[in-house]
Structures are given as C-alpha cells and as structure tokens.
Amino acid sequence: MSDNKRAGVLARKILQGFHKHYAVFQDVTQQAKTRFAEGDWHAGQYAATARISFYDQRVRETTASLRKLTQGKLDEDLWLATRKLYHQFLQFHPQAELAETFYNSVFCNLFHRRYFNNAYIFVETTLSDSIPLALETEFRSYFPVVQGMRRTLARIMGDIDFGAPYDDLSEDIRLLRKAFRQQTSAGELSTYQLRIDVLKEPFFRNKAAYVVGRIVSANRIYPFIVPVLRNASGKLYLDALITDTDQMAIIFAFARSYFMVHTRAPSALVRFLKGLMPKKTIAELYSAIGLHKQSKTEFYRDFLHHLEASNDQLVAAAGIKGMVMTVFTLPSYPYVFKVIKDEFGGGKQMSRQTVIDRYRMVKRHDRAGRMADTYEFANVAIPLDRIAPDLLDELKQTVAGSLTIENEQLVISQLFVERRMTPLNIFLEYASEAEIEAVMNDYGQAIKDMMAANIFPGDMLLKNFGLTRHKRVVFYDYDEVQYLTEMNFRPLPKAETYEQMMAPEPWYAVAPNDVFPEQLATFAVPQPALRKILLQHHPELIDAKYWQQQQENLRQGVITDVFPYPESVRFMRCVRTAAG
C-alpha cells in the first residue's frame, strides 16, 4: 500500500473515531430536553457525570486501532502526510476545532512528546485558514415590528420546544416585558428599533433550562438570559430575566457544572456567547458547554501565546503553602499551577492516587457554583528561563519526582491548573467591615451549597477558599474532599469526669470519617471575630443534627435548589421550584 493510501486510512480512522464520539456526546446531550420535561433530575446528574468520560473512551478505542496498524512505530513521512490529509478533511467540517483536538489526543497517546509540534499535530489551529462558520447557524432572529413585542416574545418561547406545556405563558410574557423595561433601556425602544436574536437550543443544567439571546438596536446590544423552570405539576414557567453581564458570567462560571446544549457548530455558538460575555475566555466558554477537552486545547494555546508575548517569570503563589500541592503562578496570567508533592506534610495520610482521584471526582461532580474547575495536563514543557530561581529550587525540593529537564525546558509529568483567586484568608486581612460581613456570609453559604451537592470539603480552612472577581467564595483545595453521605456527623461527647475533662487527647473513640460539627467553626475559622460573623449568619453549621438532615435529604433523593442568580431578579410568584 502506498504512503498516500496508508495516510488516508489513518486519517479516516481518526476522523471516524471523532464522529463516533461526537454522535454519542450529542445523543446524551439532546436527551436533556426529555429529562427536563419529565423532571428526571437524577438521570440528568448521571448523564452529566457519564458524558465527561465519553471523550477518553473514544480516544482509547481509536488509539488501540491505530496502534495495531502502525505497531506503535512512528513513520515520520507517513504521519506528515496523515496530518496534511486530515487538515484537508476539516476545511468545511462543522466541528473542525474539536476534530483537531481529537487528532492531537490520539497522536499524543501513540508517540513520544518530542513529536508534539505543529508538523505532526495541531498545536496551532487551522481554523484561521478557513471561513468561520456563520453565527446564524446557531440562532434565530425575530422582528417585533412585524407582530408586536408581546406576540414576538410568545413566539420565541414557543419556538423552543421544551417538551412540556407552560403553566401560564401570557402571565410569563407580561412579567418578562415588565422586567425588560425595568432592567434595560431597550424597554424604551419602539418595536421598529430592535431585533431579537435567540439561540435555537436551550441550555440545560440540573433542574433548569436557560434561553440565551440578545436584543440588537442601532446603537448597542443587550444580552439576556431567561431561566425556565418546571413546577410541581410538570408545567413550565419563566423564572427571571438576567441582563447584567457580570451576573450572566456567574451563570456560565468556571465553578459550575457543564451545560447540556445541542450544537452542530460549536465554534459559532462560542463566538455568539463571547459577544454576550466578552470577559469570558474562549476556553471558559467551551468548558461551560461541556466541551472540556476543547477547553484544555484553547487554554494551552492561549498560554503558549502568552508566554511568547510576556517576559515575567513563574513564581510561588501567594498564601500559605499547602501540604499536598506545590502551587505557582505567572503574575501576568490569571491561573495557578499545582503539582502533587513527593511527600505530604502535616501528617497527611493519603496516597498520590487518592489526591488525583479526588480532583477528578470534583471534575465529574456537580460543583454547585462553589468548586473551581481544574485542567489536568501531562508532560507540560516550560522554558527554564521563565521559572524564577527560588521557585525552581522549591520545585526540585518538593516535586522532583514529577520533573525532568530536556533541552532547557522543565517537563512536568502531571500538572493541575485552576483559575487564580484571592485566597480568602488574605482578602480578609485588608477587607472593610462590610466586605468581611458579606464574604463570611458567603463562605457559610458556599459550604451549604456544597452540602446540597453531596460534597464535604474536609479541610474548610479559609486558605482553601478563594474569592472570584465577582466576590464569590469558591473552594479550590480538593485533597480531602469526600461525599457528604460517606461521613459520620456526631455530637461532641460531653465529659463526665474530671479526667475526661482534663485529657490532652480525645477520651472518646474517633473513627476515620467521624466529624464533630461543634468543632468545625473553631477549626476552620480560629479568629473569634470572623467566627462570630459566620455563626450569626449560619448557626446551624455547628449542629450535628443539621448535617445529618442534609445527609438524609440526599439519601431520600432530595435535590436542593441552588440558584445561580439572585433572588432579587426572580419574578414574584406564589409557587417557586428549582433551578441549577
């Protein structure tokens, strides 16, 4: 067989593997509509977890198939021809950027990292050579001048098939129009002065669906999100209108679970969303719609470009040094990089694999808006001259087992990356009284939100929480994370004798998963003034019965409402149900 024919076989095998992956991915995504209409929230949670593993399964299958064809040996001319032909296959492909990433994953599973350059894989995207997919493939346009605003809004909601009837769409439209007038100057425009663009497919997550769009006038664009909920009778209603771009960004935040949204042209969808939320990165938006592998690709490309355009050095991250991870950052880049230490401090009794498993557990789990998403990379090469000498010394002392040096580059075998946030303990040192009050209240709410998602953070010290640019408290240290239902919450036994009262160590038996809520606040927030504020807002956090009740709720299948938007923007109704 000629090299051209062999290259054709390899390129088609990889593309077929990608097509299989995307078909399965989209199938489970499209089923979100049925799950929402039927109120099958548990099936939705299961599907969200399962979907994350689809990509790796298809990559493994494709890699195994190609390994048989190549015997694991790299024929350089053959693979140069394969990449060239694959590039041609993608010229008019609606998911070209995803197919590039799939090719990279298969190739990198097959061969040594010395071949990980743009000659053999798509380090740089080829989309810049192609005509971008039209945004119009993903949205519909509506013109109120034709039918009037009320009928236009009713048509918009009717065109989006949720698979269930509305409870009172006329009343919903009245509330929606009222909110538009109150929140935006678009409410003052006449029908002939605007156009409404709405994404064809709703975004599903947990117990809610979201309609996303924009109002276009001659002078500006007004983005909006309309959450749609399901009441106890199985009928739908519009719950709110969100027009503030910062609040929209929180709904699409890196601390939330991935949306289920059907899309034929992901690049067009992401570009539309970027127009609504310009502060969001392309990587964050791909992640938000469940394409987390593409998000990794976009992040890594952006990181490489940033290294080329900057000259500062990587340094140790601010804050108290961790006992499990060595953490560093690039001051000009808004992320932190974490490497598991060779030896854990503080008597941490866990294996390296346990730490990895817990980070991956959070990746698969409902993060409830309170746990940062994490990228996990293998064999990342960083130029040695971009690493500060002090940091390089620290890395050699703490994570030497994860390091190799190749051609003036430091190669890290396993690297976790998270959005950089201000550590909560540092923020509280210079915050105003009002800020302290708000943040300690939100810290307590963050713990409750994680509880509702069946997460026990374990180590709840303030240093393990960060503050986002929106002043939201988010947890980011996962080495002690466990499921809430696996813990044993106990009242603190009362000392009955003088010897028990004066004992230097607990006189009662303590099992590995025992937790005494009465001690949690003292341990997590040793500063009395801060602890007082926390308990003023959340006194139940030191009550074992409260934690036990949350466990019972989870075991009974209760899914607690966790709204990603403020109560103040919700429409006033007699009946309220869930969101996510």
Cβ(135)–Cβ(6) below 8 Å:
no
Cβ(268)–Cβ(134) below 8 Å:
yes
Give the three-class secondary structure for 430: helix
Q: How much is the pTM?
A: 0.93
| Average pLDDT in the chain | 92
Q: Convert the pLDDT of each residue in 121-150 to its tens digit.
A: 999 887 776 667 777 889 999 999 999 999
Q: Convert the pLDDT of each residue in 459-500 to its tens digit.
A: 899 999 999 988 999 999 999 999 999 999 999 888 767 666
Tell how far CA 120 is from the center of its chain: 30
Q: How many CB atoms lie within 10 A of CB 376?
A: 14
- Could you tell me which of 487, 484, 462, 493 has the C-alpha nearest to residue 475? 462
Instruction: Report the sign of the C-alpha dihedral through residues 149, 151, 152, 154, in that order.
Output: positive
User: Helices in 31-117 by DSSP H: which ranges?
Assistant: 32-38, 41-52, 54-70, 76-89, 96-110
The Cα 168–Cα 236 span in angstroms is 8
Burial (CB < 10 A; 0-12, 13-18, 19+), residue 575, is exposed
Cβ(157)–Cβ(165) below 8 Å:
no
Region 255-275: mean pLDDT is 95
Region 427-445: mean pLDDT is 96
Give the three-class secondary structure for 5: helix
- Could you tell me which of 388, 371, 359 has the C-alpha nearest to residue 453? 371
Binding residues for ATP: 317-323, 338
Give CA torsion, residues 537, 539, 541, 547, to 10 deg: -120
- In sequence order, what DSSP letters do the residues of 250-284 get, joined into one string? HHT-TTSPPPB---S-HHHHHHHHHHH-TTS-HHH
Q: What percent of the chain has pLDDT over 90?
A: 79
Please report where in the chains the tokens 């939201």 appear, as a residue. Answer: 472
Give CA torsion, residues 256, 258, 263, 268, to 10 deg: 50
Cα-trace Rg, the chain: 26
What pLDDT is attached to residue 562?
85
Query: Active-site residue among 167, 172, 373, 449?
Result: 373
Residue 69 has pLDDT above 90, yes or no: no
Of the listed ranges 67-76, 177-186, 213-222, 568-577, the least confidently predicted one is: 568-577
What pLDDT is attached to residue 573?
64
Q: Convert the pLDDT of each residue in 323-344 to its tens digit.
A: 999 999 999 999 999 999 999 9
The Cα 219–Cα 478 span in angstroms is 46
| Bridge partners, 226 (sequence order) | 211
What pLDDT is attached to residue 233?
93
Backbone φ, ψ for residue 440 (5° rounding): -65, -35
Q: Convert the pLDDT of each residue in 548-557 to its tens digit.
A: 999 999 999 9
| The token pair that represents 472 in the structure block | 């939201």
pLDDT confidence tier of residue 576, bands split at 50, 70 and 90: very low
Cβ(578)–Cβ(207) below 8 Å:
yes
Instruction: Report the sign of the C-alpha dihedral through residues 459, 461, 466, 471, in that order.
Output: positive
Tell me whether residue 373 is one of the annotated catalytic residues: yes
Of the listed ranges 173-187, 236-250, 354-368, 408-422, the least confidently predicted one is: 173-187
Q: How many CB atoms lie within 10 A of CB 396?
A: 12
In angstroms, how far apart are the furthest CA atoms of the chain?
A: 89
Q: Convert the pLDDT of each residue in 94-105 to its tens digit.
A: 999 999 999 999
Cβ(351)–Cβ(341) below 8 Å:
no
| The token pair that represents 321 in the structure block | 């040094």
